[in-house]
Amino acid sequence: MQRIHGVSALTRAAVRRLEDERLERDAVAEALSRFAWVFRQPGRYVNASEVWEPGLEVEDARDTLEEAMRHLPRGARHDLGRLVRRIDAEFERRTLPNPGRMSEWTAGRWWWWRIRER
């Protein structure tokens, strides 16, 4: 069991319940870990060739966090949201806009509309 750092024990408990009901075990901690790993990579921009695991993009991790945020109780959503807002700001800073990636599939998920360095 991975621990989520930077949130309260109540939020961790709410996340655990959510994972048991809707997500996989440690899904939120894993998503947060993926972003921590990506942001530790060298360079100004997020490198598209660096992948956590083949077939899993960092954007997939953001999808997991979005799913969690949508279903957590208000207090836990706010607490986890502080971490997600920091991730969003750093991801936006380290990627470039790509309006051409907008599609019905990515509607409302701006993180899929970003370009990473190749």
Q: What is the DSSP letter of 3?
A: P
Of 106, 85, 39, whose CA–CA distance to 97 is shortest? 106
> The pTM is what?
0.90
Residue 68 lies in a domain: yes
Residue 3 lies in a domain: no
pLDDT in tens, 79-96: 999 999 999 999 999 999
Residue 2 lies in a domain: no
- Average pLDDT for residues 93-104, to the nearest whole number? 82
Considering its fold, how many domains does the chain have in total? 1
pLDDT in tens, 7-48: 999 999 999 999 999 999 999 999 999 999 999 988 888 887
Of 81, 94, 90, 70, whose CA–CA distance to 6 is shortest? 81
CB-based contact 85:93 (threshold 8 Å): no
Domain coverage including residue 42:
9-115
Residue 88 lies in a domain: yes
